[in-house]
Amino acid sequence: MEQKLAQLKTMLGEASDLYQIEALLGWDQQVNMAPGSAESRAQQMATLGAIAHDKATSPEIGKLLEALLPWAESLDPDSDDARLIKVTAKDYDKATRVPSSFVAEASQVIAMANQAWVKARSESDFSIFQPHLEKVLDLKKRYIAFFPPADHPYDTLLDDFEPGMKTADVKAIFDALRPQQVELIKAISEKPQVDDSFMHLDYDEQKQWDFGVKVATAFGYDWNRGRQDKSPHPFTTNFGIDDVRITTRVYKNQFATALFGTMHETGHALYELGVGKQWARTPLANGTSLAIHESQSRMWENLVGRSMPFWEHFYPELQATFPEQLGKVSLETFYKGINKVQPSLIRVEADEATYNLHIMLRLELEIALIEGAVAVKDLPEFWNAKVKDYLGLTPPNDAQGVLQDIHWSGGMVGYFSTYALGNLVSVQLWEKFKSVNPGIDDQMRKGDFSSLLSWLRSEIHQYGRKYEPQELVQRVTGSKIDPAPYVRYLKGKYSAVYGL
């Protein structure tokens, strides 16, 4: 069996290489490629995607799994080999249900949709993106049909991003969370608003970039195995466990965008860079789910990056970098400013108290699109109505409304709920970490984040996809995904900021 396992790993490695080359083409499309090259790139990605799919679903892999699965049952269920075979078998079952011709078609549609979204967003014109999104939604409905009927059609899409999670589970978590967040936001709205006007002055873009690089370095990002570039929407991608790249975007008069975007993507990258070497070129060489991934990015962005101890260390340097803008702004004023709670239009710039509401409205719209209750052509109207209902705002244009996120252009329908779930997990993990390392605040005041990174490496990162998300959270914290710690965190933090 050892020989068959070695054969399996060789074949999985070849498929992994192809998928990572396809990802490299996608990164280049976002970072470097000229808009006029979209059609050629779409064809390249379609061809490569089909070849990778054929490799990953080859009958030879099926035969090896058929031989190895009974053997795996005899192993310790927590052993690396048993878990690798189990996860690979699940991936293989899902992948073999999808024809290579469909994979090629989807790659081409998504590549074109992405370029259309970039243009539509820049011109704030949903009609440019509409026909492409209609094709993406058609693909998703056809994809669902390849699988056995689920409790809800959306379950099939959700499982691709959050294995084991059901639509009903997410709705139950959100139903418990929503009224508590609404109550908190209402209490805050009755207090005097904090001043964040200094965040919207003109900040030199290169200096913003350089400061973000310093923070990413302090967090532990390995520039020998990664890089940062600019893109229309920040993202993290990897082409192997030793090549993990991040992007950000920089606005002259929106200081928070680049800095906190870099922190967020660094959190994702640290996860991927920490995956155990034994998982290289296997299906386990990634984060176990998008919620766990988001728990890492949101932890570094918010629990660390928006904390007072973090800025007790970094604020003097930031003031020295931008003396004209921040020289007369006290640390306390700055801290309150970066933690201001105010309903806003843009998800990635939303404060922690309102962020999950952005996710909830997107989840509702995605489910409605899959159910056929909302047509793509009517999406801007429904989007604006949801924003008004949830946040009390009306987007002035499509760019600040329905076109703000890249996800649908990339075919990532079923993704959004993982952001809110990740927020919840981030605090569960943070509470556990602080219980074993109560000195973290003092460490952050010294600019030392090594104990946090080391703990995350040990408890989360090294395992890759070895454990399913709920199983991993249970192993580390003692409970499954639970909104209660997050609510405690928000109430504690904003009681101090707003004097509740």
* 51, 83, 91 from 88: Cα distances, Å: 18, 8, 5
Pairing of strands 244-248, 228-230: parallel
Quick one: which of 363, 493, 362 has its CA closest to 427?
493
Q: Calculate the CA 329 to chain-centre distance.
A: 32
Stated length of the chain: 500
For residue 2, indicate whether it is catalytic. no
Q: Give the integer Cα–Cα distance in Å for 303 and 308.
A: 10
Quick one: which of 27, 178, 46, 28 has its CA closest to 112?
46
Residue with tokens 């809110």: 420
Name the amino acid, one letter, at 439: G
Catalytic residue among 22, 265, 364, 366: 265
* Phi, psi of 242, deg, nearest 5: -115, 20
Name beta bridge partners: 237. 245
Local structure of residue 301 (DSSP, 8 states): I
Question: CB of 489 within 8 A of CB of 483?
Answer: no
Tokens of 353: 């108290």
By CB atoms closer than 10 A (0-12, 13-18, 19+), residue 276 is middle
DSSP E strands: which ranges in 379-487?
none
Name beta bridge partners: 230. 248
Local structure of residue 163 (DSSP, 8 states): T
Count how many Cα atoms sit within 13 Å of the Cα of residue 7 in the half-sphere of its side chain.
13
Active site residues: 265
